[in-house]
Amino acid sequence: MPRLKYASVVRVLVILGLFCLWIQIMLSASNGGIYREAEELMNANETSEQVLALVPPELHKYLTVHPKNISANSTEKVGPKNVTDIRKAIEKYNDAQIIHNEDIFGPVQNDTIIIAVQVHTRLTYLRHLIVSLAQARDIDRTLLIFSHDYYDEEINNLVKSIDFTKVMQIFYPYSIQVHPHEFPGIDPKDCPRDAKFEQAIKLKCNNALHPDLHGHYREAKYTQTKHHWWWKANRIFNQLQSTAGHTGMVVFLEEDHYVAEDFIHMLHLLRATADRSCPQCEILSLGTYLKTYQYHVNGDKRKKQLTLSYIQQVKAANEERRRRQQETQTWNFQVYPNIYSNTQKVEITPWHSSMHNMGFAFNKTVWNDIMALQKQFCAYDDYNWDYSLLHLSQNRPNRDKFKVILCKGPRVFHIGECGFHHKKSNCNASTVISKVQKLLQNAKSYMYPTRVTATITAGGAKHNKKLVKGNGGWGDLRDQELCANMTKIGRQNRKYVFFT
Ligand SMILES: *[C@@H]1O[C@H](CO)[C@@H](O)[C@H](O)[C@H]1NC(C)=O
Ligand SMILES: *[C@@H]1O[C@H](CO)[C@@H](O)[C@H](O)[C@H]1NC(C)=O
Ligand SMILES: *[C@@H]1O[C@H](CO)[C@@H](O)[C@H](O)[C@H]1NC(C)=O
Ligand SMILES: *[C@@H]1O[C@H](CO)[C@@H](O)[C@H](O)[C@H]1NC(C)=O
Ligand SMILES: *[C@@H]1O[C@H](CO)[C@@H](O)[C@H](O)[C@H]1NC(C)=O
Ligand SMILES: *[C@@H]1O[C@H](CO)[C@@H](O)[C@H](O)[C@H]1NC(C)=O
Ligand SMILES: *[C@@H]1O[C@H](CO)[C@@H](O)[C@H](O)[C@H]1NC(C)=O
Ligand SMILES: *[C@@H]1O[C@H](CO)[C@@H](O)[C@H](O)[C@H]1NC(C)=O
C-alpha cells in the first residue's frame, strides 16, 4: 500500500513541522520577554521644575532627554543594531582605552582619584549622578570611569558629553546583552531556576549537577552584577595601561547614587584621619544608608528577628525594607540635623557589606590583598558582590577583618530607591532627588569641615557574626570559573583603533 505509506509520512512531517514552529515561537516569546524585562532602558523625562530649579542652568544639558527620532527608520539609526555589531563596538572601545578630556585636564597621574561608576540601564538616575559630580569641588582632578554592562547610544552620548573632567568608558564584555542565548546569558539548555535536582538530571540540562545551596539553578540577570563588579575592579586595577603605577584611591559608585559637593574633600580628610588614628583602615566609606537609621526606631522588629538565623535576618530586613518603600515612600530625614554639625563625626569599625558598600574607596595595595584571596570571592555561593567581599574579609588568614573609616554625615546618597517601580504614581526619581537636594542645601554650612572626631566601635553583634552560608545564586561552576578567569588577564596597552 504505497499510497497509504506516503500519506502517513506526509502527516508525520506536517506534525513535526508544526511542532518545530511551535517550539520556535515559544522560545522566541520567552526569550523576548525576559530580554525586555531585564534590559529596558529607563530614560524618563520626569525631572520636576522643583528639582530643575536647584540645578545650575549650565548643567541642565545633562538632564535633557532628546526625543527619539521616530520618523527615521530603525535601519537608518546611527550606531550598532545587532549583537555582532555591539560586540565589535565593545571590543573597539576596550582596546582603545580612550580617556576623553585629557588634553584639557592633564594626564592621569599615579595619585589621581579614580571614580568608578557601574552603569546598567537606569539613565534617568545616571543623569542626576552626573549633575551631582559636576558640582563637586576638585572633580576636575579626577578620572571618571563608567563601566557599562549595557551598550546603548543614548547612554554613550550622555557620558561622552561630560566636559568637567577626564572620562573613560569601559564595557563589560560578558554581558547578557551580547550573549542573549548562551552563557553568561540565558542558554536554552540551562536548567530552569526551580527545577528539582532529580528533574534536572532527567532533563540533562547544562548545569543539572550544580544548583546553589538553596537548590535553585542559576539566573543570568542575578549573576551579572557580581560578575560586572569583579570584572570592573580587575579591569581598573590590573589591566588598564593608565593605571599601571596607580597608587591613589578608587571610589566605587553606582548609576543611582548622588554625591555631595564636598565628597572629594571628605575622602582626603578620611584618609588623613585614618593615617593618624587607624593606619590599618583599608576602606574609606562616604555613604550610609538612610534606612539603616529607620531600623533602630523599631525595636520590636529586631527583637522578633533575634530568633532567626543571620541569613534569614538579612532577608527579613530586605523584605521589610521593600515593603516599607512601597507603602510609604517617605524618607525619614529628621535624623539629619544631628548628623551634620560643627564637629563632624567619623567612625572606625569592621567593614560590613550591606552597611558600607555605598561610595567606598580603597587603593591598589588593598586590592592586592583581595586578589590574593580571590577564591574566597569567586567560589563563594552568593550572587552579591558585597557579601562575597565580606566573606573574603572574614576569612583572611592571620589577618583581621577589613576596617572601614566612614563619615556619619553621608556624602553619597542612594537615589534609586524606587527604580523599577518608577511607574507608580507616588514614587518618581524627582521626589527622592528633591529631598536629597534640600538636605544638602540645609547642610551647606557644614560642608568642607576642617577636622573630624573619630570614634572607634567594634560594630554590632550582627556585623561581627561570621557568615556561615551565602545567599546562594552562585552555585553554577561556570559562574565561578568565569569569575576566576577574569583575574588572569594582564595589563594591556592601548591599541590605536580607527573609529568610523
Ligand atoms: C522633555 O522635557 C523638555 C522640557 O520639559 C521638553 O522640551 C521635551 O520636549 C521633553 N521631551 C520628551 C521626549 O518628552
Ligand atoms: C530624523 O531622521 C530623519 C530621516 O533620517 C532626518 O532627516 C532628520 O534630520 C532626523 N532628525 C533628528 C532630530 O535627528
Ligand atoms: C521606512 O521603511 C519603509 C518600508 O520599510 C519605507 O516605505 C519608508 O519609505 C521608509 N521611511 C524612510 C523615512 O526612509
Ligand atoms: C549586523 O548588522 C550589520 C550591518 O550593520 C550586518 O552587516 C551584519 O550582517 C549583521 N549581522 C547579523 C548577524 O545579523
Ligand atoms: C607612576 O608609577 C610608575 C611605577 O611606579 C612609575 O614608573 C611612573 O614614573 C609613575 N608616574 C608618574 C607620573 O609619577
Ligand atoms: C593604600 O592604603 C593602605 C591603607 O589602607 C596604606 O597602608 C597603603 O600605604 C596605601 N598604599 C599606597 C600605595 O598608597
Ligand atoms: C514626580 O514628583 C514631583 C514632585 O513630587 C511632581 O512634581 C511630578 O509631577 C512627578 N512626576 C511624575 C511623572 O509623576
Ligand atoms: C575560562 O578560561 C578557560 C581557558 O581560557 C576556558 O577554557 C574556559 O572556557 C573559560 N571559562 C569560562 C566560564 O569562561
Give one DSSP letter per residue of 180-242, joined into a string. Answer: TTSTTS--TTSPPTT--HHHHHHHT-TTTT---TTSPPP-HHHHHHHHHHHHHHHIIIII-GG
pLDDT tens digit sequence for 294-349: 322 233 333 333 444 455 555 665 665 555 544 433 344 434 545 666 668 888 99
Higher pLDDT, residue 183 or 343 = 183
pLDDT surpassing 70 at residue 23: no
45 lines ligand 1 (CB under 6 A): yes
Q: Which residue's C-alpha comes closest to atom 11 of ligand 6? A: 365
Residue range 82-106: mean pLDDT, rounded: 96
Q: Which residue's C-alpha comes closest to atom 9 of ligand 7? A: 48
Q: Which residue's C-alpha comes closest to atom 6 of ligand 2? A: 72
**57 vs 50, 53, 63, 208, 469, CA distance in Å?**
13, 8, 10, 56, 50
Residue range 195-211: mean pLDDT, rounded: 95
Residue 141's contacts (CB-CB under 8 Å, 6 or more residues apart) are: 105, 112, 113, 165
Identify whether the C-beta of residue 498 lies closer than 8 Å to the C-beta of residue 246.
no
Q: Which of 54-68, 131-145, 316-330 has the highest mean pLDDT?
A: 131-145
Among the bound ligands, name the one nearest to the CA of residue 67. Answer: 1
Phi-psi region of 405 (alpha: psi -120 to 50; beta: other; left: phi over 0): beta
Give the per-residue pLDDT at 497: 79
What is the average pLDDT value for the chain, to the nearest integer? 83
- Residues with beta carbon inside 6 Å of ligand 4? 81-82, 84-85
* pTM for this model (two decimals): 0.83
Helix axes 220-234, 477-486, angle to 10 degrees: 20
Among the bound ligands, name the one nearest to the CA of residue 49. Answer: 7
- pLDDT classification of 34: cutoffs 50, 70, 90: very low
Q: How many CB atoms lie within 10 A of CB 100?
A: 18
Higher pLDDT, residue 47 or 370 = 370
Give the span between the Cα atoms of 281 and 314, in whole angstroms: 25
Three-state DSSP class for residue 282: coil
Q: Which of 74, 75, 81, 82 to mutate to test the pocket of ligand 4 (most atoms within 8 A of CB)?
A: 82
Q: Which residue's C-alpha comes closest to atom 11 of ligand 4? A: 84
110 lines ligand 5 (CB under 6 A): yes
pLDDT surpassing 90 at residue 474: yes
Distance from first CA to last CA of the chain, Å, rounded? 66
Q: Which of 66, 70, 71 to mutate to test the pocket of ligand 2 (most atoms within 8 A of CB)?
A: 71
What is the Å distance from ligand 5's center to 245 Cα? 5
What is the Å distance from ligand 2's center to 32 Cα? 28
The answer to whether the Cα torsion of 484, 178, 228, 388 is positive or negative is negative
| CA-closest candidate to residue 236, choices 175, 174, 147, 119 | 147
